[in-house]
Amino acid sequence: MTKNGKISDAVIRRLPKYYRYLGDLLKNGINRVSSNELSKLTGFTASQIRQDLNNFGGFGQQGYGYDAKNLRDEIGKIMGINNNYQVIIVGAGNIGQAVANYAGFYEEGFEVKALFDKNPKLMGLKIRDLEIKDIDDLPEYLREVHVDIGVICTPKEVSQNVANILISNGIRAIWNFAPTDIKVSENIAIENVHMNESLYTLAYYYKNKKEIN
């Protein structure tokens, strides 16, 4: 925790990992876990894990450790998992369709309500019972239906423009798959996924490990 009381991004990005490994433990019938055991699973140090968790409160018990179920629930609450989010996807190409089809999200409260595209060939096509709608109808749709998260799966040339449309119609969270950094104001949540940067990073390490070995 920094002095202004805000929790650092690095901490936030470790929370999903704790959440996931705790889920694995529970599935295996383990309902008690120490920071040391979590360390072995996650690869983070026990000290760091305790520090991270204590940003949000004392979830453990001295001499015992953490109750896995309770800790997982608490982390879920902190992150807002299972809160039920209304999601729309803009761009119904490969990535848009893959996101729409990814069942895992539905189980955790992320509900895709609609897909939009500008390609007339896709219009009316159904993905998971959802008809692909015309992107021109997007502003009107947003005026009528509450949407929490807008997923951008368009080409990069129009991604910022799409984001602007989403935001000016009330959306406050954007998950961006276009290979650009979408710029938003302070009050909007954004995640730029950047698969391409991930691939380049992989290529770098591949190249360099080869040179070493």
Work out which of 35, 110, 132, 147 binds a second copy, going by CB under 8 A.
110
198 binds a second copy (CB under 8 A): yes
For residue 199, state whether it binds a second copy (rule: CB under 8 A). Answer: yes
- Distance separating alpha carbons of residues 10 and 28, to the nearest angstrom: 28
Kindly write out the interface string for residues 37-56 of this chain, putting x where it contacts DNA by CB under 7 A and - elsewhere. Answer: -------xxxxx-xx-xx--
Q: Residue 2, interface with DNA (CB under 7 A)?
A: yes
For position 113 contacting a second copy by CB under 8 A, the verdict is: no
What is the DSSP pairing of strand 32-33 with strand 65-67? antiparallel
200 binds a second copy (CB under 8 A): yes
Q: Is 95 in the site for a second copy (CB under 8 A)?
A: yes
Minimum CB separation from DNA for residue 203, in Å? Answer: 20
Long-range contacts at 114-118 (CB < 8 A, ≥ 24 apart): 114/88, 114/89, 114/141, 114/145, 115/88, 115/89, 115/90, 116/88, 116/89, 116/90, 116/91, 116/92, 116/141, 117/90, 117/91, 117/92, 117/93
Which span (1-9, 121-129, 142-150, 156-164) binds DNA, by CB under 7 A?
A: 1-9
* Cβ atoms 110, 80 nearer than 8 A: no
Residue 17 contacts a second copy per CB under 8 A: yes
* Main-chain dihedrals φ then ψ at residue 170, nearest 5 degrees: 105, -5
CA distance 38 to 46: 7
Pick the binder of DNA from 59, 108, 156, 169 (CB under 7 A).
Answer: 59
The contact set with DNA (CB under 7 A) reads: 2-3, 8, 10-11, 33-36, 44-48, 50-51, 53-54, 58-66
